[in-house]
Amino acid sequence: MPSPLSPIRRDNAKGVTFLVAGVAVFSVQDLILKLLSDAYPLHQAMVFRSLTAIPFLLLLVRAEGGLHRLFTPGTGAMIRRGGIMFLAYTCYYIALPALPMATTVALYFSAPLFITLLSVLVLGESVGPRRWGALVAGFAGVILMLRPGTGVFEWAALLPVLSGFTYALSMISARRLGTTETAAALAFWGNAVFLAAALVMSAILGSGAFGHEAHPSLAFLLRGWAMPTPGDAALMMACGLIAALGLTFLTQAYRIAQASVVTPFEYTGLIWSVLYGWVFWQQWPDSTGWAGIAIIIGAGLYVLWRDGAPGPQPG
């Protein structure tokens, strides 16, 4: 049985700093993947990323209690959670080529709403009428951004919503595993599942036999491997370093500060997504998009404030 972790001194100000830095670091990974998505497949980028992340995650595991924490009675559950996380982030990443970054991130931030809903359905927690109202409003914002039945509806917009839902499932699992497992161990096994799944996908799809789809999301998923330029290979590998560094910042944020204090700052990710979308692709949300973003964020912040529960952490 793993020994308990040493007590951590609470410092909300430093926790917020670590969290904002972690979100900023992870937003660079989104930018890199979107930039690479028109030339390489996601599974190739994930192999480079996951291999690069392994040594950094092992160092993090060692610092957070020792390598023995990777092998506990909960290892199987951590691996299963890694499978859910793989589905969550695959949906998120393949949405990036087809949607503006701000839209992808905003729809993904439906995750706190799903977390609250699943906490009722799965964990049996109670939710009052005001939080139910916030949930309804938040999902109304999601529908507003999806724009079903209109000429501008894009089916790929369903992907970050599915990502938010599956991420919420993983967070419900983490609530249970978090009592006995470290965040670093959870991240390591999540990365291990990413690597294994990406290798399987590469074996099936790497030849390019299925890579003839015109839709950018499907092309990013099914395209065959391509020989990367040195610069592009470095960018793929940088995603591994980004994931390890970002995880370190986020883990430290939640270790030294109250979750209810730092979690709202997860939404700073939307600032970066709007900025990158404008700088690199001259994309700017229209009035309907801004309205949906405001409703989703407002509802999510209210739910997080009432719950004090962790929100979505980029992967």
| Residues of the domain holding 186 | 12-307
Select from 306, 302, 315 the least CA-distant residue to 141. 302
Domain presence at residue 315? no
CA distances from 24 to 85, 87, 255 (A): 20, 23, 19
How confident is the model at residue 306, as a pLDDT?
Answer: 62
Give CA–CA dist 84/131, Å, rounded.
26
Number of domains, the chain: 1
Q: What share of the chain is helix, strand, coil (3-state, %, to 5)?
A: 75, 0, 25
Q: In this model, does residue 115 exceed pLDDT 90?
A: no
Domain presence at residue 5? no
Domain presence at residue 314? no
Domain presence at residue 3? no
Domain presence at residue 189? yes
297 — pLDDT class (breaks 50, 70, 90): confident
Q: State the residue for tokens 């501008």.
A: 152
Mean pLDDT of the chain: 83
Q: State the residue for tokens 């977390």.
A: 115
49-63, 204-218, 260-274: segment of lowest average pLDDT: 260-274
The count of C-alpha atoms lying within 13 angstroms of the C-alpha of 148, restricted to the half-sphere facing its C-beta, is: 5
Q: In this model, does residue 134 exceed pLDDT 60?
A: yes
How confident is the model at residue 7, as a pLDDT?
Answer: 47
- Residue percentage of the chain with pLDDT more than 90: 33
> Distance between alpha carbon 301 and the CA centroid of its chain, in Å?
17
Domain presence at residue 39? yes
Domain presence at residue 312? no
Domain presence at residue 57? yes
4 — pLDDT class (breaks 50, 70, 90): very low
How confident is the model at residue 46, as a pLDDT?
Answer: 94
2 — pLDDT class (breaks 50, 70, 90): very low
Select from 273, 272, 267 the least CA-distant residue to 301. 267
Residue 261, judged by CB atoms within 10 A of its CB (0-12, 13-18, 19+), counts as middle
Contact, 266 vs 313, CB < 8 A?
yes
**Structure-model confidence comparison of residues 198 and 170, the more confident one:** 198
pLDDT average, residue stretch 162-185? 80
